[in-house]
Amino acid sequence: MNQYSSTAALKPLSITDLAAMKQRGEKISCLTAYDAGFSALIDKVGVDMILVGDSLGMVIQGHDTTLPVTIRDMVYHTRCVSKARQRAFIIADLPFMTYATPVMAAKNAAKLMQLGGAQMVKLEGSRIDCVRFLVDQGIPVCGHLGLLPQSINQLGGYKVQGKEQAAAEKMLADAQQLQQAGASLLVLECVPASLAKEISLQLTIPVIGIGAGVDCDGQVLVLYDMLNIGTIKRPRFSRNFMSDAANIEEAINTYHQAVKQSRFPAVEHSF
């Protein structure tokens, strides 16, 4: 047992548990992690999900983008994270150009699950063919719409997505198609809060926001951003949870409670 909850010794959360959280209106908390030490700490606090993000390319490896991250990198860091957690649900990113075809996606997703211990894989964009094929193979999938870091060269910068009506309508349609293809979760990044709210209401699967307002079913932040460490500027949608914390564990717990109680993100962290 720990000071936060009595769930530390329970079996890992499942996609069924996450769906039930949405149905009863309980917010889902998520943080990124890339190693065993942070994984154990995040899990101890009671955070519901850990995303092993290809953001490791920037916060761990020092790159300017996520593009150099390989599937080998992702397997290694996912294995480190999965070995140390007891309860948190583990999602791992499929990195750049590892899901160009459905078969390629399945082979790389299998590595993340068999070798890394991931319970779900995440891919960017409305890749309906890949999502449907992965789900047919028994692989749980998390979609990702809005700002797509792997497409940064195409987007021309880190900008809010879905501000114009046509773009908003397309994103809602893409979200519905991802759900119909079998995705069990959806991440919305840098999306106007009103649009993210509408998508969250329209979908039956949980919608996790990052820079997408407080009305999503849950929130995710890059661990290094919310601890105010790293080599890059903290995004506007993040918050320095270390500023009023005595230690890292307290900062993570403050974030977890703020998400659960719909106190984060605030208006200043939204678009």
In the annotated binding site for Mg(2+), the residues are 54, 93, 124
Torsion angle in degrees (nearest 10) through CA of 246, 260, 80, 98:
-130
First CA to last CA distance, the chain:
39
What gap in Å lies between CA 18 and CA 33, rounded to an integer? 19
Q: Between vectors from CA 8 to CA 6 and to CA 10, what angle results, nearest 5°?
A: 95
Task: Give the active site residue among 26, 164, 169, 189.
Answer: 189
Count of other CB atoms within 10 angstroms of residue 142: 25
Give one DSSP letter per residue of 17-69, joined into a string: HHHHHHHTTPPEEEEE--SHHHHHHHHHHT-SEEEE-TTHHHHTS--SSSTT-
Residues at the binding site are 54-55, 93, 122, 124
What gap in Å lies between CA 124 and CA 139, rounded to an integer? 16
Q: Please indicate whether residue 198 is annotated as part of the active site.
A: no
Helices 128-136 and 102-114, packing angle to 10 deg: 50
Residues at the binding site for 3-methyl-2-oxobutanoate are 54-55, 93, 122
- Token pair of 152, please? 């940064």
* Closest CA relative to residue 114, chosen from 160, 71, 157, 56: 71
| Phi, psi (deg, nearest 5) at residue 91 | -115, 140
Q: Which residues form the catalytic set?
A: 189
